[in-house]
Amino acid sequence: MSTARLLQPQRHRIGAGFQADGLREPLALLDPFIMVDHFRMSESVFAPHPHAGFSAVTYLFDDSATGLISRDSLGGEHAIPPGGLHWTLAGRGVMHDEYPAEAGREAHGLQIFVNLPADQKLRAPSVMRLGPEQMPRRASEGWQAVQVFGGDSGLDLPWSTSLVLVDIEAGAAFDLVLPEGEQGFAFVIQGSGRTEALPLAAGRALSLPVSGSARIEADEALRLACFCGRPLHEPVVRHGPFVMSDEGQVVAALQRFQSGGMGRLSPRTTPSNNKEVLS
């Protein structure tokens, strides 16, 4: 029977304006998530770029020094405030761009790629948003939690997924219990603690098996981003910013992008470092 295990995110940087601890493997333990980046961004580093076959989700922590501006080829230009959530369901394809609302100030958050079921990969793109005041909150002795998405957050999600941000006081404990049939992981954002014999520290993640649970004890104030979802167990073919079910869908997505079928989004400025979001 599977048990909890530690995952080690990999650090990556783009110039001086973007750094992140990124969790991408092993994909089987992240399913239905494709990627999670715990990022800090102080300047625009991404030119407009395409997405297809998944949802690109941005959450900003409440301590973020600035918000983000999210632009897309659907005609949207939205402000993401600290504590806010922006969910871009790319479906068959959309162009996208995000940058700090105030140049030189640091946006601190999570970029999350959530896979779409095979039968939804070609659906029409759309955008969903939540402000911090819309997110359900709960607390008990020694901890408090924010339901960022999933559960009773009110978003109409394409698949069963959730993110709960949990703050645990030093010396207190929190019981992380996954819903029946779902697997998940807890990304340590700050602080340190332990569960059984496993040490928890910022920049690490704790993976839990399907229907798993763990009692997490905080040695110092501990912030966890707790993800869970029902695994899709479907083939995944990744090519740059496209996450499809087979090679044919990837080729078709490239053709839609090149022909303008994902819409157009003019560059705001020419970034000094232009990288694809998913590599």
Amino acid 2: pLDDT: 52
Q: What is the pLDDT of residues 122-152, one digit of tens each?
A: 999 999 999 999 999 999 999 999 999 999 9
Alpha helices in the chain (DSSP H): 27-30, 247-259
Q: Which residue has the higher pLDDT, 274 or 77?
A: 77
Decide if 265 is inside a domain: no
Q: Is a pLDDT exceeding 60 seen at residue 276?
A: no
Answer for the pair 200, 216: CB distance below 8 angstroms, yes or no. yes
What pLDDT, in 10s, does the model give residues 42-100? Answer: 998 888 999 999 999 999 999 999 999 999 999 999 999 999 999 999 999 999 999 99
The pLDDT tens digits for 182-217 are: 999 999 999 999 998 899 999 999 999 999 999 999
For residue 112, being part of any structural domain is answered with yes
Residue 258 neighbours by CB under 8 Å, 6+ apart? none
Digit-coded pLDDT (tens) for 223-273: 999 999 999 999 999 999 999 999 999 999 999 999 999 999 999 864 433
CB atoms under 10 Å from CB of 223, counted, come to 17
pLDDT of residue 103: 87
**Does 214 map to a domain?**
yes
Count of beta carbons in the 10 Å neighbourhood of residue 138? 11
Range of the domain at 207: 5-259
- Asked if residue 272 belongs to a domain, the reply is no
Q: Which residues neighbour 41 within 8 Å (Cβ) at sequence distance 6 or greater?
A: 17, 18, 68, 99, 100, 106, 107
pLDDT of residue 269: 60
Q: Rounded to whole angstroms, how far apart are CA atoms 201 and 239?
A: 32
Task: Give the domain CATH number at 213.
Answer: 2.60.120.10
8 Å CB contact between 53 and 243: yes
> pTM of whole model > 0.85?
yes
Residue 278 counted as domain residue: no
| C-alpha to C-alpha distance for 155 and 20, rounded to whole angstroms | 27
Number of domains in the chain: 1
pLDDT at 34: 98
CA separation for the pair 34, 53 (Å, rounded): 11
CB 163 within 8 A of CB 59: yes
Tell me, what's the pLDDT at 268?
A: 82
Kindly report the number of other CB atoms within 10 A of residue 24's CB atom.
Answer: 18
DSSP 28: H
